[in-house]
Amino acid sequence: MTRAFKQVDVFTNNLGSGNPVAVVLDGHGLTNDDMARFASWTNLSETTFVLPPTEPGADYHVRIFTPTMELPFAGHPTIGTCHAWLEAGGQPAAADRIVQQCGVGLVTLRRVDGRLAFETPPCRRSGPVDDDLAASMLTDLGLAANQVLDMTWADNGPGWIGILVDSVETLRSLEPTWNRLDINPGVAARTGAEDPMAPALEVRAFFYGGGTREDPVTGSLNGSLAQWLLGNGTLTAPYIASQGVSMGRNGRVYVSETTDGGIWIGGDAMTGIDGTVVLP
């Protein structure tokens, strides 16, 4: 069966500088194995499948797969899928928002300064990291204790632990080596920039599914880091985060906060491939 397909570069307005997501715009009739097999074949960090919503209030339902597993939520697939759905003619029920159904429930998106942004879901796990796990993680990342300013669970789906280090130089020097399967470190450093149009935070995200892997630009992590760093006063919103520098990318994540405490993660998105794919 021929199905509409797009590949969208997210958190950039310069194709090839962000994080791509593959979007199958009609996932109807595909089995779990079909989706997992196709996501493994694309070999992108995430592949999504759009389905009719089953929850009241949702405009569409998305399932999100890495090459090895399904995720309940992820940030750049949320923005990329919404971009692709709208570009393909999707019509949200409300003029001022789009509501996505996914594994964590309903996620709201809207336009912020012309960019799609999602309201980051609450963390499933937060708070201190066990001392033994923290020590092991620092060893595997090659970090000394005096290079770490703070550490916390910041997991809104993919299993994040947030680590704030003392400098951008420390951040860029990381060469992690472990092969942990279920915990993903998101490491960040304040840049010290005073210009509000310059990144205030630089971020790196690591996954360990069969080998060390770095994600170019990560919406879910930036959402949970924002909850943490805005909540404890380390940063104030709005701010810009950069990610992907160590990989030759130039991702930009735009973080804003509403008066009711909602944290929004926004970014540009560009369609790089627009066509069809043959799936069962």
Q: What does the domain layout of the chain look like in residue ranges?
A: 2-120+266-278, 125-258
**What pTM was computed for the model?**
0.95
Per CATH, the homologous superfamily of domain 125-258 is: Diaminopimelate Epimerase; Chain A, domain 1 (3.10.310.10)
Kindly give the parts of the chain with pLDDT less than 70: 179-182, 208-212
pLDDT in the model for residue 158 = 86
pLDDT in the model for residue 117 = 98
Q: Domain 2-120+266-278 is in which class?
A: alpha beta
pLDDT in the model for residue 177 = 80
pLDDT in the model for residue 180 = 60
pLDDT in the model for residue 211 = 57
Three-class DSSP labels, the chain: CEEEEEEEEECCCCCCCCEEEEEECCCCCCCHHHHHHHHHHHCCCCEEEEECCCCCCCCEEEEEECCCCEECCCHHHHHHHHHHHHHCCCCCCECCEEEEEECCEEEEEEEECCEEEEECCCCCEEECCCHHHHHHHHHHHCCCHHHEEEEEEEECCCCEEEEEECCHHHHHCCCCCCCCCCCEEEEEEECCCCCCCCCCEEEEEEEECCCEEEECCCHHHHHHHHHHHHHCCCCCCCEEEEECHHHCCCEEEEEEECCCCCEEEEECEEEEEEEEEECC
pLDDT in the model for residue 176 = 87
pLDDT in the model for residue 1 = 95
